[in-house]
Amino acid sequence: MLDILLLTEAIVPEAKTFTQRYGLRDDELLVRTRFLDDQLGKQYGLPLTDLCIPHSQCVQLPLQEERCIITENKMNFLTLPAFAHTFALFGEGSTVSSLGAIPWLATCPIFYWGDLDAHGFQILSRLRETFPHVISLMMDANTLHTFAEFCVAGVPYALHHLPHLTPEEQTLFQHLARKNIRLEQGRIEHRYALQCLRSHLQ
């Protein structure tokens, strides 16, 4: 129908999607951000501490050199405590894959807190392709041992080498992949998590 109603020059015949073919607006990926420092919002003229914005606008946020915590668990994201000069990104689904297109993140100290399983380490390695300075949080053998009672079967993962892990992370990744083990970050005790966060951020 639109092929009939629209002018020929308004149609992109080689486009791969319906919206692109007819010049319609796509639903854009949203990035959720929490300021863990109340002063950040005031500093940048934003009267908010929790905001969800289109990816294209996130690229324009003036948060250079502030510390960033990326986590994929919503409850952890919502309960992260206050830290000076720090904000959090909710890395749900495809959000993490899109962060490489936010250039100012390269100026930020970045901390990634993911599940202790093969998939979590895959995401960590992918993040370091663009941001090699990313530091992992609670993705270590001691955390796995401390909360071993909460481990469950993970998603089967073809064992191979991930190029952007530290030697310790690589060893743990291969163990988790081989044994098909998963420790969800949400099962880590809150007090333990606070101690770890404070040791890195205070």
**Annotated domain spans of the chain:** 30-201
Higher pLDDT, 123 or 94: 123
Q: How far is CA 155 from the centre of its chain?
A: 19
Residue 48: its pLDDT value, please?
A: 86
Residue 64: its pLDDT value, please?
A: 87
Is there a contact between 133 and 198 (Cβ–Cβ < 8 Å)? no
Residue 43: its pLDDT value, please?
A: 86
Question: What is the average pLDDT value for the chain, to the nearest integer?
Answer: 87
- The percentage of the chain sitting over the pLDDT mark of 70, rounded to a whole number, equals 86
Position 144 pLDDT exceeds 90: yes
Residue 100: its pLDDT value, please?
A: 85
Q: pLDDT tens digit string along 174-197?
A: 999 999 999 999 999 999 999 999
pTM, whole model, 2 decimals? 0.85
Question: What number is the average pLDDT over the span 72-90?
Answer: 95
Q: Confidence class of residue 13 from pLDDT cuts 50, 70 and 90?
A: low
Residue 29: its pLDDT value, please?
A: 79
- Annotate 122-154 with DSSP letters as a single string: HHHHHHHHH-TT-EESS-SHHHHHHTGGG-EE-
Q: pLDDT tens digit string along 98-138?
A: 888 888 999 999 999 999 999 999 999 999 999 999 999 99
DSSP assignment, residue 158? -
**Rounded Cα gap, residues 75 and 59, in angstroms:** 25
Could you give the angle at the alpha carbon of 155 between the alpha carbons of 149 and 200, nearest 5°? 60
Position 42 pLDDT exceeds 90: no
Residue 98: its pLDDT value, please?
A: 85
CATH number of 30-201: 3.40.1360
Q: Confidence class of residue 96 from pLDDT cuts 50, 70 and 90?
A: confident
